[in-house]
């Protein structure tokens, strides 16, 4: 990818079905995280759980490709394999931070 964009991985499939389990976004984001103090997961700064219309989604900054190309490929392949809706958004558009920096 030449220009960095953000990709939202939504909580529903292309045929309109809600994706399960309910904590899938936290599980997916934790794959990119590191274990911090007390054994808690610290999310990668370029992979965040966000809430849109009351549903958890995953926001991925594609500049992740420069640091960890295999991780970006894994995240996008996960969305594709599970037929999840994805949206590209401009880099400047921001979403609020989740309630806790750690999950």
**Per-residue pLDDT band at 97 (split at 50, 70, 90):** low
Residue 102: predicted pLDDT:
40
Residue 92: predicted pLDDT:
65
Residue 1 falls inside a structural domain: no
Residue 47 falls inside a structural domain: yes
Residue 98 falls inside a structural domain: no
Residue 95 falls inside a structural domain: no
Report pLDDT digits (tens) over 34-72: 888 888 888 899 999 999 999 999 999 999 999 999 999
Q: Which CATH number does the domain housing residue 42 bear?
A: 3.30.70.2340
Residue 97: both structure tokens together: 């931070």
User: Which domain, by its residues, includes 44?
Assistant: 6-89
Question: Which has the higher per-residue pLDDT, 4 or 68?
Answer: 68
Residue 48 falls inside a structural domain: yes
**Number of compact structural domains in the chain:** 1
Residue 45 falls inside a structural domain: yes
Task: From residue 71, give the alpha-carbon distance in Å to each of 47, 54, 100.
Answer: 10, 27, 23
Task: From residue 97, give the alpha-carbon distance in Å to each of 3, 5, 69, 74, 101.
Answer: 23, 18, 24, 23, 8
Residue 81 falls inside a structural domain: yes
Residue 39 falls inside a structural domain: yes
Residue 95: predicted pLDDT:
60
Average pLDDT of span 23-41: 89
């Amino acid at each position: 990818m030449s220009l960095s964009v953000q990709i939202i991985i939504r909580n529903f499939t292309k045929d309109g079905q809600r994706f399960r389990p309910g904590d899938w976004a936290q599980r997916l984001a934790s794959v990119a995280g590191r274990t911090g103090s007390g054994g808690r997961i610290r999310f990668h700064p370029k992979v965040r759980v966000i809430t849109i219309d009351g549903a958890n989604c995953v926001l991925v900054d594609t500049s992740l490709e420069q640091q960890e190309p295999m991780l970006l490929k894994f995240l996008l392949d996960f969305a594709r394999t599970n037929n999840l809706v994805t949206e590209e958004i401009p880099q400047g558009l921001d979403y609020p931070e989740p309630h806790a920096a750690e999950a």
